[in-house]
Amino acid sequence: MNKSKINSAFDLTGQSALITGGGTGLGLGMARCLVASGAKVVLVGRRKKELEKARAALGKQAFVLAGDVTRLETAPTLVDQAERFAGPVSILINNAGVHLKKPTVETSDAEFAAVIRTHVLGAFALTREAGRRMVKRNSGSILFTASMTSLFGIPLVVAYSAAKSAYVGMVRSLATEWGQYGVRVNAIAPGWIGSPMLESVLAGDPARKAKILGRTPMNKFGEPDDIGWAAVYLCSPAAKFITGVVLPVDGGAAIGF
């Protein structure tokens, strides 16, 4: 096999990706790697200043779209606008999220519902709209940013854990329903990746940081681009026979002791 054929297996030229929560952290890492692989990216988020900074860093292949995934009724409009910027959306990455670290007995119904609305209902509305179009085109790739909480129990994050576990169910159901139409649906389960969200979670909690590193065989935190290159792989022709999987990118944390 020659080098050009190997390179083409990971080439995303001509692909257009809609990435929610794409202005910072893992979303930006995925956007950066997708652009490097030839894709156009449309970054969706609520913080326009952060989106503009990301666009400036990513260059002419990137576009920004101010939007809030919790406004479920706007999903068709968001996809319409993204397609005006970058052409038919062939890749959707559901990455927008909020974190809630709180004892379960102190978590209110409203707080629980807000986390579910952002992660589960927001992702579903966009997936339904983008997926409808992908099914008609008989082609597409959808990714969900899952979590270690999708794989094992972590205390103090019951709402977040419920939301991320729901992703796994959606991935499996959608993969079986849409596979016949050439639409692949997968998830990445990041381990502990250096990001503003991780910093906020670990702030003032050195014991938690030590525990995380102690159960991670590689004994370090990952980087956003580690998630980005995994996303490139799952969206590329190299993964054309992969659907319904949850890929841990975690330095071994899911199997560590």
Q: CATH number of the domain at 82, please.
A: 3.40.50.720
On whether residue 256 sits in a domain, the answer given is no
On whether residue 155 sits in a domain, the answer given is yes
On whether residue 253 sits in a domain, the answer given is no
On whether residue 4 sits in a domain, the answer given is no
On whether residue 1 sits in a domain, the answer given is no
On whether residue 77 sits in a domain, the answer given is yes
Residue 6: pLDDT band (50, 70, 90) is low
* Burial zone of 257 (CB within 10 Å; 0-12 exposed, 13-18 middle, 19+ buried): exposed
Average pLDDT over residues 10-26: 95
**At which residue do the structure tokens 């499996």 appear?**
172
* Local structure of 239: helix, strand or coil: helix
Amino acid sitting at position 218: M
Q: Mind telling me the catalytic residues?
A: 160
165-208 residue pLDDT tens: 999 999 999 999 999 999 999 999 999 998 776 787 788 888 98
pLDDT > 60? residue 37:
yes
Range(s) of the domain holding residue 177 = 11-247
**At which residue do the structure tokens 């992969």 appear?**
242
Query: How many structural domains compose the chain?
Result: 1
Contacts from 132-138 at CB under 8 Å and sequence distance 24+? Answer: 133/79, 133/88, 133/89, 134/89, 134/90, 134/178, 134/181, 134/182, 134/183, 135/178, 135/181, 135/183, 137/88, 137/90, 138/181, 138/182, 138/183
pTM of this prediction?
A: 0.94
On whether residue 257 sits in a domain, the answer given is no
On whether residue 48 sits in a domain, the answer given is yes
